[in-house]
Amino acid sequence: MIFLILLLIVWETGFRRNWWNSYLFPGPSEVLKTLTADIKDGSLLIAMRISLLRIGVAFGAAMVLGTLIGLVMGAVPLVHRAISPLALGLQTLPSICWLPLAVIWFGLSERAILFVTLMGALLAVSIAVSDGIRNIPPLYLRAAGMMGARGLRLYREVMLPAALPAILSGAKQGWAFAWRSLMAGELLSVSTGALGLGQTLMRGRDLNDMSEVLAVMTVLVAIGVIADRLVFSRLEANVRRRWGLSAG
């Protein structure tokens, strides 16, 4: 925290004293000014809403699809053996590489951006869920079998909750991937429909408005930190504690 404040002071001083071309790298006060202006005229909030809506839809779909794929992969060894090398391979592919394909399939449209974002999270979530299912302590399954839990009930009431810690860490990772993919997608498709944060960032560049660029970057960092620290890490810690996976 202290380091951060110091950094801000140095940054501001450097900007005021013209240690560098202040036009290329405006100081924090300038960025703050742009930020408040953007918030006041509503453009930033609209962009935020659009981006969050996009990631909400794509990430939500990735969670549902990924959990289903992961469940099947985790529960049926044959499917696991067949799909997991493919999934692991595709996971190394940066999801923005799906963009050309998406553009051909869907045109340079909203759906292309959503598709890229979805692909960013899908594999991470599927793999995490399937690993989670495969690592369920056999004791739980034996206890469930003894109590007559089979079929759908076994999935819903035992396997899913037992795998929940793994699913959550998959979700956290998936979110991070999806967020990056969304920004990449938006940066590369400025002309598409509604302006999200990525497109606002790119427009700032086009207009040579460096303080706009930095303002949007600040917002991106803020959203990232909030999602990770306040939502996912907290959820994960709660679940891990309850599931008896960590002390305290």
Partner 1 sequence: MALFAQQTTSASALRQASTAASTPDAEAVDAVPPARIQLEAVNVQFTTRNGTTAALQNIDLTVREGEFVCLVGPSGCGKSTLLSVIAGLQKANSGSALMDGKPITGPGPERAVIFQEAALFPWLTAAQNVEFALKQRIRNKKERRAAAIEHLSMVHLARFADSYPHELSGGMRQRVAIARALALNPDILLMDEPFAALDAQTRDLLLAEVQRIWQSTGKTILFVTHNVMEAVTLGDRVICMGTRPGTIKQEIAVTLPRPRAVEDPDTARLAQRIMTHLRDEINKIAQEESDHAATLIAPARSGDTGDIPDPLANSMGDGI
Sites of contact with partner 1 (CB under 8 A)? 139-140, 142-143, 145-149, 157-158, 161-162, 164, 241-244
CA distance 222 to 228: 10
Calculate the alpha carbon distances from 178 to 150, 170, 173, 175 in Å: 35, 12, 9, 5
CA distance 37 to 17: 25
Residue 151, sorted as left (phi over 0), alpha (psi -120 to 50) or beta, turns out to be: left
User: 159 or 227, CB closer to partner 1?
Assistant: 159
> Which two three-digit tokens encode residue 98?
């799906």
Asked whether the beta carbons of 215 and 140 are under 8 A apart, the reply is no
- SS3 assignment, position 190: coil
- Measured over the CA atoms of residue 133, residue 136, residue 142 and residue 147, the dihedral's sign is negative
Minimum CB separation of residue 199 from partner 1 in Å reads 42
Minimum CB separation of residue 125 from partner 1 in Å reads 20
Minimum CB separation of residue 233 from partner 1 in Å reads 19
Minimum CB separation of residue 161 from partner 1 in Å reads 4
User: 17 or 148, CB closer to partner 1?
Assistant: 148
Minimum CB separation of residue 245 from partner 1 in Å reads 8
User: 24 or 138, CB closer to partner 1?
Assistant: 138
User: 107 or 145, CB closer to partner 1?
Assistant: 145
> Which two three-digit tokens encode residue 167?
């699913």
User: 141 or 223, CB closer to partner 1?
Assistant: 141
